[in-house]
Structures are given as C-alpha cells and as structure tokens.
Chains A and B, each alone.
Chain A
Amino acid sequence: MDTITVEPNNKLTSKDFASNQEVKWCPGCGDYSILKQVQTIFPDLGIPREKFVFISGIGCSSRFTYYMETFGMHSIHGRAAAIASGVKLSNPDLDVWVVSGDGDALSIGGNHFIHAMRRNFNLNYLVFNNQIYGLTKGQYSPTSEKGKVTKSTPFGSIEEPFNPSELALGAKASFVARSMDRDPKHMQSVLKRAHEFKGTSFVEIYTNCPVFNDEAFFAFTDKETKKEEAIFLEHGKPLIFGHNDEKAIIIEGSRPKIVNIVDSNLSPDSYWIHDEKNKTKANIIARFFDTVVDGVHFPRPFGVIYADERGVFDEQTTASITQAAEKKGRTPLNKILSGEKTWTIS
C-alpha cells in the first residue's frame, strides 16, 4: 500500500471526496450516514485520492460508488467481490473498497463473498445490511428475520436468516466487524480499523431502510434499549453491558454466560477479556445473534469481533511471480513461439 503523506496545506477535506452527482437515496436512509462517515475519514487515511477504487454491485447500497470522487465501478448484481478480485490482482497498489448490501453480498453474490473471505485480498468489504430488498421495493432478504412479512412473503418468511459475521468467520475471514448507521463515531473507528488491517476487512453496517423496513435495528440504536441489547467490543477490555454496565459475559468451558457483576461478586480476574485474535472466542461472540442460554438472549456485538492478519492473496500472487521470474527468468517471446521441439524444412 502506498503511504505517501499528503502535504498538510494540500490536505484534502471530506468535500474533496464528494462527487458532483446528486445523491438519490430516500430521505432518512441510513446509507447517507455511511457516505458521510467514509467521506469524513478518507482525508485522514494518508492515501492519494486517485488510489481509491470503489467497486459495487447492484442495490441501493451499490449506488455509493457514484457519490465518491474517486475511481469506481458500479457493476452487476452480486459480482462486486469478483470484479474487485481482478482489480486487486492486476494492481495490488490500489486501495479497494467493495460496497454491497445484504442481498447483493449474501444472496446473489454469496459465492463470491465466501471466496473473497477465504482468499483474503487486501481490501475492505462493506455490507450495508438493512435486512430487506429496497431497490426492488420490499422483498425479504437473506438477513430478514424469520416470520418477516414482505411483498413476497405476505404470510411471513419461513427462512432462517444468515448471521453475516458467523458466515464470514466460517468462510475464513481474517477481519470481521459490525457497526451501525446511527453511531457515527463508532462507524468511523471501525472503518479506520478495517482500512488499517491488511487482508479482507469485512464490515457489516446495520442501516435503516425507512421505506421498507423502518426501525429494524431500533433495539440497538435507541438510547433506551441500546445499553441492554448491544455490546461494544474493545480489544483487551471485558465484555460488559447493561444500563449501568452491571452485566458481564463470562465463559464456562465453551458456554457463554451473562452474570450480574454485583450480585455474583464476580472478580475482575474472571471477566471475559476481548481478544480479537482468538478465533474460538470470536466464533462464540459472532453467535451472539441467536444465542440463548438459560432462557436469556445475548446482546448483539458491535465493533471488531475478529482481526488476525495472515497471508494476503494479491501480495502472494505478486510475490510468486517475482519469485518465478527470479528463478526461471523471463522466456523471450521468440522462445515461447518456437517451443522446445522444432524441425527445419529447407
């Protein structure tokens, strides 16, 4: 990654990242917030503007590309990750951001999603999850909850929803995080972490669709319920939540458990300390989605669930080419044309 520092007096502002195109999301759409947070953090990333490339698929989320004053391609449904694979392999030096939605990434593009996680390109993969199909006007999505009544499920959906972070971890993602449209500061910090991380950084962002799925994330965003229903993860810090930070999550064997710090006389030594590099624990945290223990459901985790760098596909591809070139040397074109065995007719 090129890290040429931009001179302070020439420093770009968030406005420099806004294209001249009119933003056309519905009023109140959560995507506005994501656009704002991305434009806000970009000047601080220290990357020349021409190195940013946005690749999006189809859906409300994927219009994002048109609104960024960077390079970008608004492609076809579900294929943004596949196109980004080629961009990154062809020029690993570019700072690539895939923008997708729950339908685009997890339904029609599900195959590319899992393979992008597995291969671990050095790029950022944002999934705007509104748990609904917006641009096609309100059908259930692969993240819609069971029982969801939509235009295509007037009697309620009978499908189990995906939990995207669990899916990503299962697909060997090296960075998994979650944030939400209504917490700008949190989103900014998660986006910065995603960008810093070397590998495929998967960020699921809960985003409200005021038209077809209003307040789907109310419990996590509302001031009253947020403290009970959401838990904010920080590396090296205990898993604590509740109105008065009175609840802690501990682990007994492989079983998570919610305990009241005061009532249980829990010693700080026994707190579950969040370790982003611990895959086993990350798997358990990711499942705080439909985890119910002793009749108690768990709060939804936000922040970086898992982050552990490993080999990066595009870098390794480039390295293996350099290695082959050093070992074998370029074959001159004339030699390629002639091959090994020739004969002459005179």
Chain B
Amino acid sequence: MDTLESKMSEKTKVLESESIVVRFSGDSGDGMQLTGMQFTDTAALLGNDLSTFPDFPAEIRAPIGTVSGVSGFQVHLGSKEIFTPGDTYDVLVAMNAAALKVDLPRLKKGGVVIANIAGFDKKNLGLAHYADGVNPLDDKTLVNFEVHKIDVTKHTKECLSGSGLSQKEIERSKNMFVLGLLFWMFDKSLDSTIKFIGEKFAKKPDIANANIKTLKAGWDYGDNTEIFTTRFSVKPAKLPKGVYRNITGNSATAIGLVAAAEKSGLPLFLGSYPITPASDILHELSKYKANGVKTFQAEDEIAGVCAAIGASYTGSLAVTTTSGPGMALKTEAIGLATILEIPLVIVDVQRGGPSTGLPTKTEQADLMMAMYGRHGEGPIPVLAAASPTDCFNMAYEACRIAVEHMTPVILLTDGYIANGSEPWRFPTEDKLKAINVKFMTEANGVEGAVLPYKRDEKLVRPWIKPGTKGLEHRIGGLEKQDETGNVSYDAMNHEKMVHLRAAKIEKIADFIPLAKPECGKEKAKLLVLGWGSTYGAIKTAVLEAIAEGHDVEQIHLHYINPFPKNLGEILKGYEKVIIPEMNCGQLLQLIRAKYLVPAIGLSKVQGLPFTTTELKAKFIELLN
C-alpha cells in the first residue's frame, strides 16, 4: 500500500517470530470480535497459518465496564503450522480496566500491553473492582511488560470531529483505531479491511468513511509517534500448496451438509431451534435457499428434530442442529428415528452443562448422552470433529453414513471449534466421496408385498418415499415384525430386532477409516488418545514432547460409535494410554469397558480448552 509507506524509525526493532498470539479484549460492546476477525482475515490472506478463539460472555450486553462483560478474541498466527489459539499471548489489547484485569494473567512475561486510557478512568477502575486510588497503568502491576497507554477514545474523536457523526457513532469506531495500529505493528495491509468496511456499510457511506479514516489514523499513529519500539513480523507459513480460505467450525459444518446434499442429489432440510453455540449453522444454511436448502426454524427443539424426521421420511437429507439442553429435548424423537431406521443427522455443538450451564463456554461432556441417551437399546453412530475445518469432513461423513446405512447419526462438535477458525485448504467437488442413495421403486416381497424392513447385506432396510405408487405401508414407533414392519409384541421378535438394529450399526465399522497414529509410530511408551476439539492442543503438546526427545504418540478418534475396527489391536502397542477430555472421563470409560485397557484419564471441566503446557507437563510426568 503505497499511501501508507512506512517511515520506520531507527528506534523500532522488527521482531521476527515463528508464531505470535494476540488477544483483543474489551467490553462486549467494543467490537472486539469484529476487530479480531478482521485481523485474522488479513493475516490469513497474507499466508499465515492461524487459529482463533472467540471468548465472549453469555449476556449480549452485560453491564458496561464490568468484569462479566469482557469479550475477548484470541488469534495465533504463525509461519509454521498452528494447531491451537495459544495458551498465553504476546500482545494484549485492553480496551478497559476490566479487560486488563481478566486477561493480564495469561500475557507472556515481557509481552506488549496496549491499553486504552479512556477505559481506565475512575468509573471503569471501580467497575473492574480495583481498589480506590489504584490504577494498574500507574502502579507496578505492569512492570514486567512493554506498556503503551493510548487514549484511543480521544484519538478517535479527534479523527472524526467534523464528520457529522453522533458521539455514539464516533465512539463505536474506536475499535478501528486499534485495528489500524495493530496492522501497523504487524506490518499488514489495510486493504482487506477497507474492502470489508465498504461492503458492510455500503448503504451508509458516512459510517464507512469514518471507519476507514479511523483505521488509517490508527496505522498513522503507530507510524508517526515513534513510541513503539517493537514491530512484529510473522512470515507466511510453509503450508501445503493449494488454495485456502478461512473458516469457522460452524460454517464448515454447514458447508459439509450442503456438500453432502449436492453430492447425494438429495434436497437438504434443516429443522432447528436457535441455541448457543449452534445457531450459526442455521444462519449459514439459510443463505443457501437458492440451492434448494430448506431451513425451518421450528417452535421448539422437539419440533426441530420431528420436522427433520418428517422430511427424511419424505426423502430429504434431514438435519437438526442444537446444543446440550436441546439434545436432551430431542432424545425421544431420536429414539423414534432409531426404531424407524431412517436417515437423520443430529449436530450437537457441545457447551458447558448440565442444564443451561455455561452457554458460551466449551465442554465435551455430551459423549455419554450421544452414546446412550435413549431409552431402550438404541445404539446409533457417533462422530466427532477435531478442529474447525474437520467439522466439514465429519458433517459430510455423518450424512454419508446416515443415508447409506439408514440411521440417525450424532455429530459432536463444541463451542471451541464451532466459533474458532483456521485456514482451510478446501476440497473441490470431485475430491469428495460419493454418497450413494437409492429409493425403493418396486415392491420387494412376493406378490407385490412391501417389506419395509427387509435388509440388504449391510443389514440396511430400503428407503421408501411416500408418493411411490404401489408401496403404501405404515411405519411407527411400536416394535415391528422383522421384514413386514407390522406391529409385533412377540418376545423373540423384539430381541431379534434389537440385535439386528445393533448389528447394523456395528457393521458401519467396515465403511469408516482405520485408526492411525498421527506420527506413524505403532509402538511408544505413551499414547495420547483423544477425540473432538482437543486435537490441536494434544498435537502441539505431543510434537513438542517428541522434539524434546520423549517417546510419545497421538491417536485421535473421529468415529466413536462404532470405533475403528483396528482400535483394540493398535492400543496394545503402547505401554501407557492417556485420554485427555474436557469432561470427567467419558471416552475413558468407553475405552476401558470395551478394550480392558488401563487407560489414564486427564480431565478438565472449566469451560476452557486444554493448554498445550498443561498437557505436555502431564505427558512428561507419565513418561518419567
């Protein structure tokens, strides 16, 4: 960008780094999520690998200035492969005293603090519960850090005086000043954000101009004031060749479902009820109306899944999306889909529980509910996504398994990967696995009899669409006679049907990938076995431990029911097995029960993901 050619001061040193973590922190109304996402988009476009962690309160606007209202967005960018948003950060942007109070503990020693002085007045200090007369910007609190005190609010006001905007509108632009300054610090172009602002405020050119002006003022501030002694440089990452985009887990889930619909030739139907943190899947899918995607915002969670059952019965690729409390409500209907044996994808974006729990925080505590949360014997496939981009793969797989095996499938993601984002080397259409769907068109019994529960070699029953001439038949939640599907209370028939339905699910193991050690070691002193969103933290910790000379390996499960066929055998190659989970040991129980392996649990239920540091420390402890 030639207009912003940098007049680099001799005093400013450029710190080249393989990876840097930035935390934007402020009040819920300060626009930190948007600021963080813009910073991320630009870093991604310039070739950094990255991982993000939006961390916001459940309240839409908690009282301004309070600790409970702090909204953070953390981004880890690197010139190497990045698997987590980072345990601690190098740069902390604190828009007010509460933000500093909440987020300072995880700033690296020597790290940079950019503090908005206006957010540290008497009122804000009081709201953040600093003692009377104490201001962390003036005492010894920040003695170990490089601190830049800037009156962002004042600079923004100066920049926009005479713009004709109201005080409120001017105040709202202050995040752009910070973003501009950060772009200067990281020597990143403003182009992408300028384009974004132009599009976002296309109908309000005044606001667009004000935001762009403030953004540039932030950059100029860094460039002119010579108060910054450090600038950062993170070179583009050496990622595999290809075309990339940035994507969040929820968007990836939505696109995975759309892709499965397109590849299978089935119309996509979503029955859903808004719930944090799953609603973005509903929002994203609603955009694809022109592709025939039908999204139905139902009257409640139960209606969401029931409408999906109705749509599946009628020949759609049917999906319902929710989070823990909604899963509880859908349970009975999932049981119906199980006994009907119709395709249905249930996405559970897990959050802290039980009950309303921690709506915006992450947890992996719905695994047992997914496995066993139905009355009666009703096993169904359970899949789990490991990262934001893996949400695409697993959503696609959930659809494939549902329609090819005529069963409801539960896909578990969680708040951490649902809202987090990372670069994605997206596939092209031709690289996606085929999804084979066949509807029955002619009677399959003798003398034109319709046998809706006659099974093929995979033990799968036919999918019969209402409207198909000559195939009229009834199905229902009552136990059914083998093959005919007629109501049957016969004791032996019930037992047979229970086993048949279970065997059908077990057989899916023949159609999913085998478990694979991440680093290719079939033997090691320690195996770290994980599932779901812990993938990145485990991967980083394992790679670091290996680099330090430890004998450790990682296996990550994407398929939990059924397990990959080789899992029991492969577990025998490791002296110790540890299972880190954001719950009290749910996969641990499944593994111990099924394979009689004395696996060790590592549990964390704080609504927060594991840090690499705590994982590595535990691994090394077990190795010594």
Contacts and interface: CB of A to CB of B under 8 A. Distances in A.
Interface string A105-136: 00000011001000000000000000000000
Contacts of B308: 86
Contact of A90 (B311, B428, B470): B311
Interface string A54-92: 110010000001101111111110010011111111110
A325 B243 contact: no
A235 B203 CA distance: 52
A93 B296 CA distance: 18
28 contacts: A50-B466, A65-B476, A71-B467, A73-B474, A73-B476, A76-B333, A85-B271, A85-B303, A86-B296, A86-B312, A86-B314, A87-B310, A89-B311, A90-B269, A91-B314, A111-B300, A112-B303, A115-B298, A321-B289, A324-B290, A328-B290, A331-B288, A331-B290, A334-B428, A336-B259, A342-B245, A343-B44, A343-B244
B239 A74 contact: no
Contact of B242 (A52, A112, A324, A344): A344
A339 to B, nearest CB: 5
B467 A86 contact: no
Interface of A: 19, 21, 48-55, 58, 65-66, 68-76, 79, 82-91, 93-94, 111-112, 115, 317, 320-321, 324-325, 327-334, 336-339, 341-346
B290 A346 contact: no
A82 B298 contact: yes
Given A115-B298, A341-B245, A346-B241, 16 more contacts: A50-B466, A71-B466, A71-B467, A73-B313, A73-B340, A74-B478, A82-B307, A86-B314, A87-B311, A88-B310, A112-B299, A336-B291, A337-B429, A341-B246, A342-B244, A344-B243
B309 A83 contact: yes
A19 B477 contact: no
Interface of B: 41, 44-47, 192, 236-237, 239-247, 255, 258-259, 262-263, 267, 269, 271, 288-292, 294, 296, 298-300, 302-303, 306-316, 318, 332-333, 335-336, 340, 426-429, 465-478, 486-487
Q: Nearest 3 A-B pairs (CB), nearest first?
A: A86-B310, A74-B476, A86-B307
B296 A66 contact: no
Nearest to B256: A337
Given A76-B333, A112-B303, A330-B291, A337 B426 contact: yes
B47 A87 contact: no
Contacts of A83: 306-307, 309-310, 313
A85 B296 contact: yes
Contact of B271 (A75, A86, A115, A324): A86
Contacts of A69: 472
A334 B333 CA distance: 34
B333 A73 contact: no
B261 to A, nearest CB: 9
A85 B310 contact: yes
A75 B467 contact: no
A91 B466 contact: yes
B336 A48 contact: no
B262 A333 contact: yes
Given A82-B303, A89-B311, A339 B245 contact: yes
A317 to B, nearest CB: 6
Given A50-B470, A333-B262, A334-B429, A345 B240 contact: yes
Contacts of B466: 50-51, 53, 71, 87, 91, 94
A318 B535 CA distance: 41
A49 B247 CA distance: 48
Given A75-B336, A91-B314, A325-B290, A115 B299 contact: yes
Nearest to B305: A82
Q: Which of the listed residues A69, A74, A85, A332 has the most CB atoms from chain B within 10 Å of its own CB?
A: A85
Given A333-B262, A345-B239, A345-B240, A87 B302 contact: no
Given A73-B475, A87-B313, A343-B243, A336 B255 contact: yes
A336 B257 CA distance: 11
B474 A72 contact: yes
Contacts of B465: 91
Contacts of A91: 314-315, 465-467
A16 to B, nearest CB: 10
Contacts of A82: 298-299, 302-303, 306-307, 310
A75 B337 CA distance: 9
B429 A85 contact: no
Q: Which of the listed residues B239, B292, B471 has the most CB atoms from chain A within 10 Å of its own CB?
A: B292
A331 B318 CA distance: 20
B336 A89 contact: no
A70 B303 contact: no
B259 A329 contact: no
Contact of B477 (A50, A76, A112, A342): A76
B246 to A, nearest CB: 7
Contact of B471 (A50, A341, A346): A50
Contacts of B314: 86-87, 90-91, 94
A90 B309 CA distance: 10
B307 A317 contact: no
B45 A89 contact: no
Nearest to B45: A343
B315 A337 contact: no
A341 B193 CA distance: 12
Contact of A324 (B289, B300, B312, B427): B289
Contacts of B237: 345
B154 to A, nearest CB: 34
A1 B372 CA distance: 42
B452 to A, nearest CB: 10
Given A71-B472, A74-B478, A111-B299, A339 B247 contact: yes
B474 A65 contact: yes
A339 B392 CA distance: 13
B285 to A, nearest CB: 11
A83 B41 CA distance: 41
Nearest to A331: B291
Q: Which of the listed residues B44, B239, B476, B487 has the most CB atoms from chain A within 10 Å of its own CB?
A: B476
A23 to B, nearest CB: 12
A65 B466 CA distance: 14
Given A50-B468, A53-B466, A82-B303, A327 B290 contact: yes
Contacts of A320: 289
Contacts of B427: 337
B244 to A, nearest CB: 5
Nearest to B308: A86
B259 A333 contact: yes
B489 to A, nearest CB: 11
B467 A50 contact: yes
A70 B472 CA distance: 5
B242 A345 contact: yes
A86 B302 CA distance: 12
A155 B300 CA distance: 35
A141 to B, nearest CB: 20
B244 A74 contact: no
A327 B290 CA distance: 8
A149 B465 CA distance: 45
Contacts of A75: 306, 309, 336, 476-477
Given A86-B306, A90-B316, A91-B467, A76 B336 contact: yes
A19 B474 contact: yes
Q: Which of the listed residues A328, A338, A339, A345 has the most CB atoms from chain B within 10 Å of its own CB?
A: A345
